[in-house]
Structure 1
Amino acid sequence: MTTAHDIDLPAVLAERLTTTHPDVLRELLATFIHALMGAEADALCGAGYGERSADRTNQRNGYRHRQFDTRAGSLDLAIPKMRHGSYFPDWLLERRKRAERALTTVVATCYLLGVSTRRMDKLVETLGITSLSKSQVSVMAKELDAAVEAFRTRPLEAGPYTFMA
């Protein structure tokens, strides 16, 4: 009689995601970071990008590009500039290694467990960001969900196939 082997599937998939597909992880990280910075910039401006509102207090004024080194490779980040004042994500500036590790964990968790608005809100709060509205969190979840879906449905013509039965 055979015994069933217990496999910690989330841990195995998280390891595979962080070790074998650096390009995919890099793309997911870039998507998540840009969505998060866009949501924070919208919160600072008082209105969404390109949206007219009486509550608007500031406007975007282009982007500045910065390199962000991660375990998946370097990311070219387009950080939104403000017309009045400045914006730089504190969660990215301080403790770079810890921020990179937290972002990688957030993206891997979203990939493994699926992306829901409530889960995304909790994951963003783990980064120390609490000023995002529910609609901004929802937009971020949709963007990351689209990137994950594109990865899951990509063609597998080249390379070895890994599957679980």
Structure 2
Amino acid sequence: MTANTSIDPAEFLHEQLTTASPDLLRDMLTTFIQALLSAEADAVCGAPYGLPSSERVNSRNGYRHRDFDTRAGTLDVAIPKLRSGSYFPDWLLERRRRAERALTTVVATCYLLGVSTRRMEKLVETLGITRLSKSQVSVMAAELDEAVEQFRTRPLDAGPYTFVAADALVLKVREGGRVVNVHALVATGVNGDGHREILGLQVTSAEDGAGWLAFLRDLTARGLTGVRLVTSDAHAGLVAAIGATLPGASGQRCRTHYAANLMSVTPKPPGRG
């Protein structure tokens, strides 16, 4: 059984990133903001930084630093300066609260769904920025994609991860010109400092034993140790994968899934639809 698909996946990942790993969210926000500022400054100059071009109308001249307060902490933002005139990203610094909310949504969406050029272009447009070229959007996507990949493959060295929760989200994605369902396998753990941490996220075509086994093997290969209790639903493939990869760990049925299972087989009172 999978999780309730009525939740907003991007909002779910945003909440998880904010509460479980503020350092991660700060790093990803900083990476995205700096890439966006650089790309927009290049658009104002008419050419990429340091590249000779007949279309260039201005050039860079260092940076000025500004603090940008977010729910994930204060970010040190380096704003490009120009040799003539000025560049001021009012989309970021004048409407701070709305911009910060939009940025965290963009970053969470990129993390969850990937950072293709077309998707990045649409997400940037939600911030009111429409003058970026496709090549600049590609560079931004590549830089954020690198940050995401580093997080997804990082060593799990903050253990022992005594408590782990595992579940799957059903998402709709476009693949080969059609919309299909995929399953995002998510594992969250409590690290040695007592903080929640997203251990990993992997997208599979189906929630089956093979997918869960590959996912948990990846986590143990990256350093997942010390697990004593795993909370999950009663998916047979997941239960078997836990037994194969986390010997000695006890299993606990998720109360939310258990209640949903009970309600699905409980007769409804007369008069209720």
**TM score, norm. by length of structure 1:** 0.92
* Cα distance between partner residues in 2 of 1:79 and 1:108: 23
Check whether the contact 1:42–1:49 (CA below 8 A) recurs between aligned residues: yes
2:58 corresponds to: 58
How large is the RMSD of aligned CA atoms in angstroms? 1.6
CA distance 1:110–1:5, change in 2 (3 Å): closer
Q: Which has the larger radius of gyration?
A: 2
* Cα distance between partner residues in 2 of 1:121 and 1:84: 28
**Paired residues, number:** 163
Check whether the contact 1:14–1:112 (CA below 8 A) recurs between aligned residues: no
In the TM superposition, residue 93 of structure 1 has moved relative to its aligned partner by: 2.0
Check whether the contact 2:65–2:76 (CA below 8 A) recurs between aligned residues: yes
* Cα distance between partner residues in 2 of 1:57 and 1:46: 6
Structure 1 position 96 matched with structure 2 position 96: yes
Check whether the contact 2:14–2:104 (CA below 8 A) recurs between aligned residues: no
Q: What secondary structure does 2:115 align onto?
A: coil
2:4 corresponds to: 6
Q: What secondary structure does 1:74 align onto?
A: strand
CA distance 1:51–1:19, change in 2 (3 Å): same
Structure 1, unaligned runs of 5 or more: none
1:69 corresponds to: 69
1:87 corresponds to: 87
Residue identity over aligned pairs, in percent, reads 72
* Deviation larger for 7-16 or 85-94: 7-16
Return the structure number with greater relative CO, CA threshold 8 A, min gap 6. Answer: 1
Residues 141-156 of structure 1 aligned to structure 2 (within 5 Å): 141-156=141-156
CA deviation string 1:22-66 (max 9, x = no partner): 000000000000000000100111110110101111010000001
2:116 corresponds to: 116
Structure 2, unaligned runs of 5 or more: 168-237, 239-273
